[in-house]
Amino acid sequence: MVKAVIVDEQGAPPRIADLELPAAGPNDVRVRVAATGVCHSDLSMVDGTLAPRFPLVLGHEAAGTVVEAGAAVTSVGPGDRVVLNWAPACRHCWFCLHGEPWLCSAVEGVASVPRGHLADGTQAHVCMGVGALAEEVVLPATAVVPLPETVPLDLAALLGCAVLTGIGAVRNTAGVRSGESVLVVGLGGIGLSAVLGARLAGAGPIVAVDVAREKEELALRAGATHFLLSEPKLARQVRGLTGGRGADHAFDCVGAPATIRSAWSSVRRGGSCTVVGIGRRDAEVTFNPLELFHFSRTLTSSVYGASDPSRDVALLAGQIELGRLDLSLLVTHRITPEAVGEAFRRMRAGEGARSLVEWAGR
């Protein structure tokens, strides 16, 4: 039995429960989790934006140490440090064969999968095939990525979602180049990672936007050149910082209709607006045909930062080793598993960035 953070039904508060994990099969690994980030997607599982099955073991953004590897596993072994990958590509579907493993058919729309049982025998389901808010997890070996010894294991958890998604949206999806102007709307873990990615790309100016004034210091530390509060005149303010044109690239890291429209309206003619946040299926964003024609903007989304973890984790680890990428500024709260409910409250209120659950010593 291991301890895990579970939710019994939609809208219920998270609680700590005993979880019996399945035995590791020949192609599986068992990982002792060191740290788990509390991601907005975890909250989306609880509030009905996504539709998992319950009871649900939360968590998908984590890093840890392999304690057991199946007989057929050759990529990692006991003692290896790894980042968990919630979207392991099958490598043989149409999308994988055409260079888009982040759209892999095998993981498309997977909110949860059955894995393990609670103490009373009830079938448990794990968030996004991972269930990383637990002391240990059992996963296919394809769902872990080796981590260099030089990267702190606790901060490496953020590579499992926020950093790959935010930096990937900038680097892989939008292809931001040195000297281009960037707008980032929404400064949670993913939004701040997008700011980090813009700085790595040599972008400028980098305009960071949030509803909370307290995010200004975090944004500037991450590399933003300007901070603005989200308000109706945002597009005009952004044009004032970009020679009257608007930003070359905007990233909406919220997923709400109002923020998507605001980001879109702040982009120059011929620029791009990338939606990174996950919104509700019953929400709608409207555009009129004339503006679509006149502004010639590109509107797209970025799934997992268009990242291939087997490639991009190593690339980002290299940036950490060179001192060009500091993940510590993303972590505003280090918490125990019992405090996940409070982390959700802060998330709803727009307070802080990433809450990091530390499992060492439990």
Question: In the chain, where are the structural domains located?
Answer: 2-160+326-358, 164-303
In the CATH scheme, what is the code of domain 164-303? 3.40.50.720
Model confidence band, residue 274 (pLDDT cutoffs 50, 70, 90): very high
280-324 pLDDT, tens digit per residue, is 999 999 999 999 999 999 999 999 999 999 999 999 999 999 999
Distance CA 216, CA 350 (A): 13
Neighbours of 146 (CB within 10 A): 15
What SS3 class is residue 37? strand
Residues 208-215 have a mean pLDDT of 95
The pLDDT value recorded for residue 109 is 83
Instruction: Report the share of the chain in percent with pLDDT over 70.
Output: 99
Query: What does the pLDDT read at residue 161?
Result: 95
pLDDT at 235 over 90: yes
Beta-carbon contacts of 87 under 8 Å, excluding residues fewer than 6 positions away, are 101, 102, 104, 107, 128, 304, 309
pLDDT digits (tens, 9 = 90+) for 329-338: 999 999 999 9
The pLDDT value recorded for residue 359 is 82
Q: What is the pTM of this model?
A: 0.95
The average pLDDT across 47-67 equals 95
Quote the mean pLDDT of the chain: 95
Best CA proximity match to 90, nearest among 131, 139, 142, 138: 142
Q: Residue 360's pLDDT band (boundaries 50, 70, 90)? A: low
- Using 50, 70 and 90 to split pLDDT, how confident is the model at 23? very high
From the list 252, 253, 255, 271, the residue with the least C-alpha distance to 263 is 252
Q: How far apart are CA 272 and CA 299, in angstroms?
A: 6
Band (pLDDT 50/70/90 cuts) for residue 211 is: very high
Cβ(326)–Cβ(192) below 8 Å? no
DSSP 8-class letter at 212: -
pLDDT (tens digit per residue) in 92-145: 999 999 999 999 999 988 899 999 999 999 999 999 999 999 999 999 999 999
Mean local confidence (pLDDT), 186-199: 97
Q: pLDDT-derived band of residue 362, with 50, 70 and 90 as boundaries?
A: very low
Q: Is residue 10's pLDDT more than 70?
A: yes
Residue 214: the pLDDT is 92
Average pLDDT score over residue span 144-148: 95
CATH assignment, 2-160+326-358: 3.90.180.10
What average pLDDT does the segment 38-65 reach? 94
pLDDT at 361 over 60: no
